[in-house]
Structure 1
Amino acid sequence: MNKKLVLVVDDSAFMRKMISDIIHSSAYLEVIATARNGNDALKKVMELKPDVITLDVEMPLMDGISTLKEVMKMAPTPVVMVSSLTKSGADKTIEAMSYGAVDFIAKPSGSISLNIKDIESEIVQKVEHASRANYKLSINTSPSIKKKDYKPISSNRPIIAIGSSTGGPRALQQVITKLPIGFQSPVVIVQHMPKGFTKSLAERLDKLSNVTVKEVEDGDLIENGKVYIAPGGNQFRVKEINSQLYAEVKQEQPVNGHQPSVDVLFESVAHVQNCHPLAVMLTGMGSDGSKGMLHLKKRHPRTIAISQSKETCVVYGMPQAAEKTSLVDYVEDIDNVSDVLVQKIQKKR
């Protein structure tokens, strides 16, 4: 088996050594070189042509964002960002996702994390998956959009529920930023991310969008024209009280290994009375959300299920699992997903 070659970039010699040792534990990966800053990294990218790069967000001389942009211009390569758990680190990591990074790893205790071994399995898994990812799609700036006509739903109480994971921040940006002012449905989202990063994602999408986007809080009223993103480390459910919809946000046990979990969100929407759900499954690893889609279709047979096409997914796992239920109504390129939602929700004149 030909191993995938990895370039490890970090300004700390200790972190370079620890991350390299962790990656070497994988039978699938081999660290071909390390780099101490962005300039050093760019030289080695051009010289060694690695299959995947781990890239520290905070570095002197040339930071991770600047390095990522140059890599994507010079030699597009799957990149996993390595970030601190600070607000600044989270903001820059979410920005990196929009520039083509496949995924990210959060250092457990600051820029020099002595306990980095605590997340050894996460590092190996994410780097392995990144090396196989359809990463070039995340840097495509001029997609071809296929215009189609979709019949609007007749219900006046739609609710859109979206699940996403690896590659999701970029995909969500492509969907949410195209929703119009006055959009006549609430949008509830689970994006697999740790605490802190979901707030940065919500704030970034809010700045870029016509609709209001926020990290949801327990007790929030769920209203049309607003987008609610589950906070990392908590389960997010939609609850109906006196015909109004509210958010329930609680720290519980992970479901399918995830907190928040798409299945938990979808199943909660299934228990809302007299609504017309639209369930959207975007790029991500695993199968979270497919069971929830089954619940939605069982309780609300008119549920419209949409999955992102394999050709436009960074990782096809979650959409593929949804499609295997045979309940998906539309398989769409990411650039068409917002068109489906807008046309389905628009009112007849």
Structure 2
Amino acid sequence: MTIRVLVVDDSSFFRRRVSEILNQDPNIEVIGTANNGKEAVEKAAELRPSVITMDIEMPVLDGISAVKQIMQQTPTPILMFSSLTHDGASATLDALDAGALDFLPKKFEDIARDKEEATKVLQQKVREIGRRRVSGFRPSRVAATPSTASRIASERTTTSSLRQPDRSFSQRAPVTDTRNTGTSERPKASGKQYKLMAIGTSTGGPVALQKVLTQLPANFPHPILLIQHMPGAFTPAFAQRLDTLCKIKVKEAENGDLLKPGVAYLAPGGKQMLVEGRSGSQKLKIYEDDSPRVTYKPSVDITFASAAKSYGDAVLAIVLTGMGADGRDGARLLKQAGSKIWAQDEASCVVYGMPQAVASAGLSEKSIALADVAKHINTEIGCG
């Protein structure tokens, strides 16, 4: 099935460039373009594309506001293009909260090492999210705030979106497996003892992590490692946002951090995060990774493997939505050490790549709907 794409950007050069790249893929067809958010909303309703690529800063109506309206009126998978700045990161997180499924840096040289690889990444992202259908929206209990893009454009001084992210709308994947919808299963604790929890994710991960972590209690008894595929410019803003929303403490991990109960450590984008030490004195090692053989920086596999070595059988590891298979090899080492592995179920994933890789390898004990992951964690850990 051909994936029909609407390309939205106020730059005619960028619209043309994205269109040319996407049309090179025989499974993708650009069916229209728009030069501002208002036009994007209108064309989304008129053309009914499979995917929309969306800029953030545009005249007439910014990208975040356009995402909100589209998700309310004609829900469509949306891929955001963002600048790798603090404001760009904050705006992108706002867009994901509003219902966008994924994002890419606007500068193609920031996507990959060479033009050919960047082209493949863009095409793959569009193909992956184009396979998902999104429907409806859920009003948030958190009051909406002006989008970051609007604040940048108007240069007003308002409350930072890092303190009050806009969660007015949220995508919902269609249920495809009624056995794993999370509506009937009551979690039961296994009685196993833990010393660490580790969560790995990619596409769809920012929203998924926010949903899970905000439901954990302040007295969560173990350290938490978070590995999210994300550029280095984004992880400080994402950690700050989570820390504001959650009862637990969330921080971007730093080299030498001692692992403490009730603290979640987010792996810095563009670097690797390792656990070192044993017997209650574990600490983090953060390092630059220039190896061309390692695709993901941070890598779930690398962090999981180090946790297996340092914590043995005392880890609860969870693989959430994401493209690819990162986490499978690390999960295998954890399982061999006696730790537990869980995976998000297909129905609630934006992309079922990473959880599927773990489940298909026979490594995960449970496939859990995103809405129920925190409930299962709290029951299993004994703090729910």
TM-score (norm 1): 0.91
Partner of 1:333: 369
Deviation at 1:35, TM superposition (A): 0.4
Q: Does the C-alpha gap of structure 1 residues 131 and 266 become closer, same or farther in structure 2, counting only changes over 3 Å? A: same
Distance 1:62 1:317 in 2: 34
What residue identity is the alignment partner of 1:187? I
> Is the CA contact 2:108–2:118 (under 8 Å) kept in the aligned structure 1?
no
What residue identity is the alignment partner of 1:214? K
Distance 1:90 1:283 in 2: 20
Deviation at 1:144, TM superposition (A): 7.2
Partner of 1:66: 65
Deviation at 1:274, TM superposition (A): 6.0
Q: Does the C-alpha gap of structure 1 residues 134 and 256 become closer, same or farther in structure 2, counting only changes over 3 Å? A: farther
Q: Secondary structure at the match of 1:182?
A: coil
Deviation at 1:254, TM superposition (A): 5.7
What residue identity is the alignment partner of 1:332? I
**What does residue range 198-347 of structure 1 map to in structure 2 within 5 Å?**
198-240=235-277, 243-252=280-289, 253=291, 257-273=295-311, 276-299=314-337, 301=338, 303-346=339-382
Distance 2:279 2:351 in 1: 40
> Is the CA contact 1:146–1:336 (under 8 Å) kept in the aligned structure 2?
no
Q: Deviations over 1:235-262 (max 9, x none)?
A: 1111115631111111112665111111
Partner of 2:214: 177
Q: Does the C-alpha gap of structure 1 residues 255 and 238 become closer, same or farther in structure 2, counting only changes over 3 Å? A: farther
Q: Deviations over 1:15-34 (max 9, x none)?
A: 11111111111111111111
Q: Secondary structure at the match of 1:331?
A: strand
Q: Secondary structure at the match of 2:324?
A: coil
Partner of 2:41: 42
> Is the CA contact 1:85–1:109 (under 8 Å) kept in the aligned structure 2?
no
Deviation at 1:152, TM superposition (A): 5.4
Deviation at 1:327, TM superposition (A): 2.5
What residue identity is the alignment partner of 2:237? S
Deviation at 1:38, TM superposition (A): 0.6
Partner of 2:224: 187
Partner of 1:86: 85
Q: Does the C-alpha gap of structure 1 residues 117 and 126 become closer, same or farther in structure 2, counting only changes over 3 Å? A: same
> Is the CA contact 2:5–2:29 (under 8 Å) kept in the aligned structure 1?
yes
Distance 1:134 1:179 in 2: 29
What residue identity is the alignment partner of 1:237? L
Deviation at 1:272, TM superposition (A): 1.3
Distance 2:211 2:383 in 1: 23
Deviation at 1:180, TM superposition (A): 0.6
Q: Secondary structure at the match of 1:228?
A: strand
> Is the CA contact 1:152–1:343 (under 8 Å) kept in the aligned structure 2?
no
Distance 1:21 1:180 in 2: 49
Q: Deviations over 1:169-196 (max 9, x none)?
A: 1111110010011110111011111111
> Is the CA contact 1:38–1:63 (under 8 Å) kept in the aligned structure 2?
yes
> Is the CA contact 2:256–2:285 (under 8 Å) kept in the aligned structure 1?
yes
TM-score (norm 2): 0.83
Q: Does the C-alpha gap of structure 1 residues 43 and 134 become closer, same or farther in structure 2, counting only changes over 3 Å? A: closer
Distance 2:96 2:183 in 1: 22
Deviation at 1:149, TM superposition (A): 3.4
Q: Secondary structure at the match of 1:266?
A: helix
Identity over aligned residues, as a percent?
A: 40
> Is the CA contact 1:22–1:117 (under 8 Å) kept in the aligned structure 2?
no
What residue identity is the alignment partner of 1:128? R
Q: Does the C-alpha gap of structure 1 residues 250 and 77 become closer, same or farther in structure 2, counting only changes over 3 Å? A: same
> Is the CA contact 1:134–1:315 (under 8 Å) kept in the aligned structure 2?
no
Distance 2:21 2:309 in 1: 44
Partner of 1:15: 14
Which contiguous aligned blocks of 4+ residues in structure 1 show a shift greater than 3 angstroms? 115-118, 134-138, 143-147
Q: Does the C-alpha gap of structure 1 residues 146 and 93 become closer, same or farther in structure 2, counting only changes over 3 Å? A: farther
Q: Secondary structure at the match of 2:363?
A: coil
Structure 1 unmatched runs, 5+? none
Partner of 1:163: 200
What residue identity is the alignment partner of 2:349? C
The answer to whether structure 1 residue 28 and structure 2 residue 27 are counterparts is yes
Distance 1:120 1:154 in 2: 46
Q: Secondary structure at the match of 2:282?
A: strand
> Is the CA contact 2:182–2:369 (under 8 Å) kept in the aligned structure 1?
no
